[in-house]
Structure 1
Amino acid sequence: MIFSKIIDRCALHHLHKTRSEKFQYSPLSNWIPETMDRESFYNAYTTEISLNMDEVENDYAIGKFTFVSLVPSGDSANDHIEDELYITNNEFAPNIIFVHGWRMDSLDRIKKIFHSEMRDMRWNMYYFTLPYHFQRKPGQSLYSGEYMISADIYRTVQSIKQSVVDLRALIQWIKANKKGPVILIGVSLGGFITNLTATLETEIDALVSIFYANRLSYSIWNTIPGKYIREDLEHHGINYNDLIRYWRITEPSQAIPKIRKEKILLISAKHDQYVHLEDANHLWESWDRPARYIYNCGHAGIVLKRKKIASDTISFLQKNIGKDIE
């Protein structure tokens, strides 16, 4: 336990060496999304997605899928989605959508967990970039993800909405153009986004959520990664109850998934200093206790437990999707 916490705290110390140089706070004004219907707020539709395939390797076509965000932010870099995909010549291959974590600056950690194993299994893979990360980061932003989760209350809500709506558009496009099942795999913030998406989208065949958060308000107020955002909010007179109210519409635990419980796997870390187990438990209980693993590690298990994560994930999918992924 002590070792796991030390590793997480060292990583957090490094994380906070780069942080916002000025306050990000911006109020919601008179608009509070908790008054809106969730289905309307996160409404999505199939959009035109272009595939640009420029390489073939071992029967895999490798390239990019591109489309314009359905929830424009006004920032051209953020609103243009251009992400990696790997497509096999098996029309019934499962379609795996990966969603990365907050402040990741590359896909390396996700790929090191899953890519080679799923490539060997001939599964299609799509890497979905969250708002304001990687190539979607605005030029004035200091680090990947700075503008997605911050004390700018409105922009944070809109970023979550943009993530979910655009992810749903990709899911619906795949369902319309591919015959294999669609599977979401989210890590950390990506797990939070895939969980929220699963409460809204019917065209998902399975979900694996790894080291996920449930309530952004809880994470900002009670965990080390959120401490400078909390400081920003408190400086501007926002308290914990305010934040809970403003961000409630983003909580996955506010609704039940639209896929069957046996198609869901949740993975948490017992000593996680980024995502407290208390918050992860809240979602698990709210969703009537789907399949779950709790690893004896911290958030650094994304690196230290990657072989186990891959093994548990693939075993679960093979067992619970069955003939759909043979």
Structure 2
Amino acid sequence: MLHSWLDHWDEQRARRGEEGKKATDFVLDAERAFPGAKKAASIEEFCVLADSVLADPAFFDEPSGSGQGFEREEGWLRFPSGISTDIEANNVVWAKITESGSLDRAMVVFHHWNASARNRQIANFLSLLGVTVVEIAMPYHFERSRPGSAHADYMLSPNLGRTIQSVRQGVCDGRKLIAWLKSQGYREISVLGMSLGSWVAGLVAAHDPAVTKASLFLTGGSLADMVWTGRATRSIRDSLEPEIELTDLRRAWGPLNLENYAHSLARSDLDLHVVLAKRDKVVLPELSEKLMQRLKDAGARLNILELNCGHYSLAIPPYILFAGLSLKRFLS
């Protein structure tokens, strides 16, 4: 009975999340995804470019000459993104800081796709544990939203190039913020990502040696498979399916697949914490399990909590309490 109620609750939340989402055009947009690249005339040309950046360890580095420009005022931090887009508001990064009163530890939090508010409860909870929390706005969210948009349709979309650019921008913004935190004297830096935010946080942890702990909630490996099979991304699949095969989408979005960075995530000075939902219809359990196996095979230091709830019902008691206690033990 409980599980049927949970499944129904998750489905109702998913339906509400569909409001305002519309199918949009499939676009390659390679020159947006890959700096210096020329326009790709075919899916195969796009995939060749994706293969090349997958082998480039500097792809997720902060662009050179992006400058600092940090401004802090009354618990808020603002700085220019190192990646410039055609949406002016998106080019300024905002972050909410909840102080702990200590310079020992700081955590950068990456929210879920289409988040409507930052998570004050998590920030307050972690600050009481002595962790300063910095909740960053991912591209096209919160203060960075595209004018007139009902949801963050530019962060994740059937525009293959824009999606890569958006995730890369989120990673570079996160790394720039982490460098600033280190310059402020914080000694231990961790990241927390939720759903789509877990892909960004995972990529940050894989590429930034300053990160010593990474907690990934509701995560998977292949972003292509998540979009193709997930309950929250049906409108995107509707646009993709007539134009591209899943096998090609996996290759096109290969630079965003956490499985491809398993060995980086398994480095000896990084601890990983993962919270998964067994009844997840957004990030299917088989996608999470595949990533977990890849990490185990690479020798990652991995702490996994699996809860018998859905993607959205993780946010309600008792599941969120179990997740919070697990996170507390991990950070301790």
Q: TM-score with structure 1 length normalisation?
A: 0.87
Q: What does residue 280 of structure 2 align with? A: 272
Residue from 295, 303, 306 that aligns with 2:320: 306
Distance between the aligned counterparts of 1:49 and 1:86, measured in 2?
A: 21
Deviations 1:189-241 (CA, angstroms, capped at 9, x unpaired) = 11121112221111101111111132111011112212111111123x21211
Shift of 1:258: 6.0
Structure 1 residues 302 and 72, CA gap change in structure 2 (3 angstroms): farther
Q: What does residue 50 of structure 1 align with? A: 70
Query: Which contiguous aligned blocks of 4+ residues in structure 1 show a shift greater than 4 angstroms?
Result: none
Distance between the aligned counterparts of 1:49 and 1:180, measured in 2?
A: 22
The residue matched to 2:58 in structure 1 has which SS? helix
Shift of 1:14: 1.1
Paired residue total: 303
The residue matched to 2:166 in structure 1 has which SS? helix
Q: What does residue 96 of structure 1 align with? A: 107
Instruction: Establish whether residue 13 from structure 1 lines up as the match of residue 15 from structure 2.
Output: yes
Amino acid at match of 2:256: T
Instruction: Establish whether residue 105 from structure 1 lines up as the match of residue 107 from structure 2.
Output: no
Q: What does residue 36 of structure 2 align with? A: none
Deviations 1:18-39 (CA, angstroms, capped at 9, x unpaired) = 213x514212424432222341
Distance between the aligned counterparts of 1:232 and 1:80, measured in 2?
A: 30
Shift of 1:271: 0.4
Q: What does residue 25 of structure 1 align with? A: 26
The residue matched to 1:11 in structure 2 has which SS? helix
The residue matched to 1:124 in structure 2 has which SS? strand
The residue matched to 1:175 in structure 2 has which SS? helix
Equivalent residues of 2:9, 2:313 under 8 A apart? no
Deviations 1:246-294 (CA, angstroms, capped at 9, x unpaired) = 1011111102216437711111000011111111111111111611010
Equivalent residues of 1:205, 1:259 under 8 A apart? no
The residue matched to 1:39 in structure 2 has which SS? coil
Distance between the aligned counterparts of 2:192 and 2:69, measured in 1?
A: 21
Q: TM-score with structure 2 length normalisation?
A: 0.85
Amino acid at match of 1:239: E
Q: What does residue 71 of structure 1 align with? A: 83
Equivalent residues of 2:139, 2:155 under 8 A apart? yes
Distance between the aligned counterparts of 2:234 and 2:79, measured in 1?
A: 35
Shift of 1:74: 2.4
Equivalent residues of 1:98, 1:128 under 8 A apart? yes
Distance between the aligned counterparts of 2:310 and 2:223, measured in 1?
A: 19
Residue from 250, 259, 265 that aligns with 2:256: 250
Equivalent residues of 2:98, 2:124 under 8 A apart? no
Q: What does residue 282 of structure 1 align with? A: 290
Amino acid at match of 2:6: S
Residue from 308, 318, 326 that aligns with 1:296: 308
Distance between the aligned counterparts of 1:315 and 1:284, measured in 2?
A: 20
Distance between the aligned counterparts of 1:189 and 1:79, measured in 2?
A: 20
Equivalent residues of 2:139, 2:170 under 8 A apart? yes
Residue from 209, 213, 221 that aligns with 1:202: 209
Residue from 52, 76, 79 that aligns with 1:35: 52
Structure 1 residues 280 and 67, CA gap change in structure 2 (3 angstroms): same
Structure 1 residues 215 and 197, CA gap change in structure 2 (3 angstroms): same
Equivalent residues of 1:49, 1:65 under 8 A apart? no
Distance between the aligned counterparts of 1:171 and 1:24, measured in 2?
A: 35
Distance between the aligned counterparts of 2:72 and 2:269, measured in 1?
A: 36
Shift of 1:52: 2.0
Q: What does residue 131 of structure 1 align with? A: 139
The gaps in structure 2 that reach 5 residues or longer are 31-39
Distance between the aligned counterparts of 2:162 and 2:51, measured in 1?
A: 15
Distance between the aligned counterparts of 2:230 and 2:98, measured in 1?
A: 36
The residue matched to 1:186 in structure 2 has which SS? strand
Amino acid at match of 2:18: H
Distance between the aligned counterparts of 1:183 and 1:282, measured in 2?
A: 24
Distance between the aligned counterparts of 2:15 and 2:186, measured in 1?
A: 45
The gaps in structure 1 that reach 5 residues or longer are 55-62, 319-326
Amino acid at match of 1:215: S
Fraction of identical pairs, as percent: 19
Equivalent residues of 2:277, 2:285 under 8 A apart? yes
Instruction: Establish whether residue 182 from structure 1 lines up as the match of residue 183 from structure 2.
Output: no
Amino acid at match of 2:4: I
Q: What does residue 237 of structure 2 align with? A: 230
Distance between the aligned counterparts of 1:121 and 1:291, measured in 2?
A: 19
